[in-house]
Structure 1
Amino acid sequence: MTHSALPRLTLERLWQFSLQYYGDRRIKDACLKLQNVYGGNVNLLLLLKWLDEQKLALNQQDLVALNRALQRSETLLIQYRELRRQLKKEVPDSLYRESLQFELLLEKQQQSDLVDCINQLNLSKTSSAKLTQIYCEQLSADSLVAIFNPSA
């Protein structure tokens, strides 16, 4: 299948998919566990889930490129998230909510970096959607596979 025949990912498409998918309480809890316990990146997982649903495949070099695309924002995001958690008990609720909104902007920027990267890659169709499973296994988060891929 040619590259042009594949679904083109836009930031808005990934963001809306992410909001809907992450809106499931079980998924949200699993994503937070992936992030906080296993050191995974939720935005990368959400992108991989979107790719799985589109039945699109990545190779190892593609995954390296995606991880490189994350590097620009990942350190800032991790530091900001930690600062926000520390401030939670010390600032008024309104200021804390504003800090959450700013963190969401950082998350969206990270998704933008991922979308820019994915649109540079030559994706191909696949019959087996296993990217989220592979990512979880790489992080030794095997217990989360059944949540992200109920049919696995």
Structure 2
Amino acid sequence: MNQYSPLPLTLERLWQFSLQHYSVRDTKEACLHLQNHHQGNVNLILLLKWLDEHQLAFSEDQWVQLEVAIERTESLLHQFRYYRRKAKPHLPDTLYRESLQFELQLERQQQSDLVTCLNQLTLTPQAGVPMSHQYCLKQNAKHLCEHFYSTTTHP
């Protein structure tokens, strides 16, 4: 566990944080735009938003560890999302809703992988560019930065 974390991050804390923020229309739209147009990862940007709100950061060389942590579930999510969208017109509503629930289980697994990884990183007080801004810049989505970072913190 790292010394700067105001709370140990757990899967349940990140999941609840994500549900709360994703339910805001502008945030949801920005997340989907990042995912669909810039190959961004929604779970990762929400984790970075959590770090920003707690004024925490990790070093540049630790980005790769988070990217590796989501590799396994990322390809599964991409494939499943593609087939779910393709099958949507041909599926009964109940089966389509079940496929959405399965996708949410994959998302939750990805968040679990991210939490496990993050808890192994050395976090420091945020001193520079917010983590969510850094990610948007890495994804060539500078115009989305403002949707993810808020100057208000919730320690």
Normalising by structure 2, we get a TM-score of 0.92
C-alpha distance in structure 2 between counterparts of 1:144 and 1:124, whole Å: 24
CA RMSD after TM alignment: 1.4
Write out aligned runs for 1:56-67 (5 A): 56-67=56-67
Contact in 2 for aligned 1:55/1:128 (Cα 8 Å): no
CA distance in 2, matches of 1:33, 1:5: 32
Paired residue total: 150
Q: Superposition pairs for residues 1-152 of structure 1, below 5 Å? A: 3-6=2-5, 7-128=7-128, 130-149=130-149
* Structure 2: distance between partners of 1:5 and 1:59: 14
AA of the residue aligned to 2:39: G
Quote the offset at 1:4 in angstroms: 3.5
Amino acid paired to 1:108 = R
- Match of 1:56, as an amino acid? L
Deviations 1:94-115 (A, max 9, x none): 1000000000000000000000
CA contact (8 A) 2:27 2:147 kept: yes
Give SS of 1:3's match: coil
Give identity over the alignment, percent: 53
Structure-1 separation of matches of 2:103 and 2:2: 33
Deviation at 1:37, TM superposition (A): 0.4
Q: Which runs of 4+ in 1 moved over 6 A?
A: none
Partner AA of 2:3 in structure 1? S
